[in-house]
Amino acid sequence: MTPFAARRARLAAGMEPGAVAVLATAPEVARNSDSDYPYRHDSYFYYLTGFMEPEAVLVLVAGRGDTPARSILFCREKHAEREIWDGFRYGPAAAKDSFGFDEAYPIGELDAQMARLLADVPALYYAQASNAALDAQVAGWLKAVRAQSRSGVNAPTRTQHLLALLDEMRVLKDESEQALMLRSATIAGAAHVRAMRAARPGMFEYELEAELLYEFRRSGAQFPAYTPIVASGANACVLHYSANNAQTLDGDLVLIDAGCEFDSYASDITRTFPVNGRFSEPQQLLYELVLRAQEAALAAVVPGRPYGGVHEAALNVLAEGMLDLGLLDRARYGSVENVLAERAYTTFYMHGTGHWLGLDVHDTGSYRDLSLEGKPSRLLVPGMALTVEPGIYVRPGPDVPERFWNIGIRIEDDVIVGDAGARVLSGSAPKTVRDIETLMAER
């Protein structure tokens, strides 16, 4: 059984017996009058099917009694002329055999088939309120089934939100997913190394971005996982900077936040380095503070401990460092506990220390245990995948030591929760001061 078929079986087992689930892939989106954006399938749909063509719908019928579960694909028909223009299509017959579905039909038959498939089933699972067109289509299917009531046919009496079930499934990565994530992180790590080796004062940020994109594609990644951030100097203090059009200056740090997508799985790595190859003293002081914070956060990635503890571990180190370096006034705040209680650290560190990672860069799943009163932070479990990414961002201010002005630093790695602790996927990208300076001295 393929991983995709295994996931379909797990989902069907978690549904009400006899219920039907419907999941559509993403539509194509026009870029201009004669061109579409590069197509990227829906992550939920791919997770269950492995099928990457547009105009496709999965229908899953849960087992009931002695009747086993069934998976049904609706997709584009074979079309010799369109294949000349647009490339290969599986068509229903080949898709059924290649992807392990029980049945497959042309997408044009979806409405008629759903009126049959929804007859006398207890519930319909679909992505409620996520797409107005789908909501209207579901309403049409239910209306068609209700029209058969005089013949003794009953429509589903309940609808359920399908994505909530899939979100929890996707939180834990199986072995095949972990292997793809490692490959994605390895490619992205090599791209960061390439950018460090290429960096010279006077280069434009977009030139470094080009090095990243080249390494991604030459290594087999299909897409960048998101628009790369290549932020030099004061631009590194803008968290989602994406213009990437400034010229680097001698003495600048460059913060690069960039990952790729390999076989649909994302990596997300950040490294910060001096464009001239040598950290100044103020840069090194802040950099090593962030690195210590990341080391503390990584040490907190342990099964059975709360997800929120990763952020707390980083905050404790950062808060102490802010006091020690004079970014925060010790005479005013006194202790780390007061810094944390008053959230004074948010002047220089205003984001979380990580997020789930997988098919999406910010992957699905709750960070809290919604089954418990108070919704505490959920506990880490082997197979979870997350980023660990503390940072510090120092903008000019009247009470801020001038030597730290306009320095922005973030260090981010991709991590799988293992049986004993964190398994770092992105370790190929250097991050100690010594390793970065040694690498850049070899240019």
Give dist(CA 434, CA 55) in Å, integer. 51
Query: Which of 177, 360, 363, 389 is flagged as catalytic?
Result: 389
Query: Which of 10, 197, 362, 443 is flagged as catalytic?
Result: 362
Residue 107: C-alpha distances to residues 73, 152, 421 (Å):
8, 28, 46
How is residue 50 written in tokens?
């492995």
Query: Which of 305, 351, 395, 423 is flagged as catalytic?
Result: 351
Known catalytic residue at 42: no
Cβ–Cβ under 8 Å, residues 239 and 198: no
How is residue 257 written in tokens?
């936040």
Cβ–Cβ under 8 Å, residues 286 and 394: yes
Query: Which of 177, 205, 211, 268 is flagged as catalytic?
Result: 268
What dihedral angle (degrees, nearest 10) is formed by the CA atoms of 252, 407, 388, 227? -60
Known catalytic residue at 351: yes
Query: Which of 8, 89, 355, 378 is flagged as catalytic?
Result: 355
Sheet containing 229-232: order of strands? 229-232, 253-258, 269-274
Give dist(CA 307, CA 384) in Å, integer. 10
Residue 130: C-alpha distances to residues 21, 160, 183, 390, 393 (Å):
15, 13, 31, 33, 36
What dihedral angle (degrees, nearest 10) is formed by the CA atoms of 105, 26, 33, 241? -160
Query: Which of 240, 330, 332, 343 is flagged as catalytic?
Result: 240
Give dist(CA 123, CA 196) in Å, integer. 55
Known catalytic residue at 355: yes
Give dist(CA 261, CA 180) in Å, integer. 9
For residue 55, what is the DSSP state?
A: S
How is residue 17 written in tokens?
């017996």
H-state helical runs in 258-300: 281-299
Cβ–Cβ under 8 Å, residues 71 and 58: yes
Known catalytic residue at 205: no
Region at 106 (left for phi over 0; alpha for psi -120 to 50; beta for the rest): beta
How is residue 55 written in tokens?
């105009």
Give the residue carrying structure tokens 């120092």.
394
CA 14 to chain centre: 24
Q: How many distinct helices (H) and strands (E) make up the chain?
A: 14, 19
Query: Which of 271, 333, 393, 414 is flagged as catalytic?
Result: 393
Give dist(CA 430, CA 192) in Å, integer. 9
Known catalytic residue at 389: yes
How is residue 412 written in tokens?
């981010």
Q: Is 361 exposed, middle or buried (0-12, 13-18, 19+ CB in 10 A)?
A: middle
Known catalytic residue at 399: no
Known catalytic residue at 240: yes
Length of the chain: 443
Query: Which of 42, 209, 412, 413 is flagged as catalytic?
Result: 412
Query: Which of 8, 307, 410, 413 is flagged as catalytic?
Result: 410
Catalytic residue annotation = 34, 240, 257, 268, 351, 355, 362, 389, 393, 410, 412
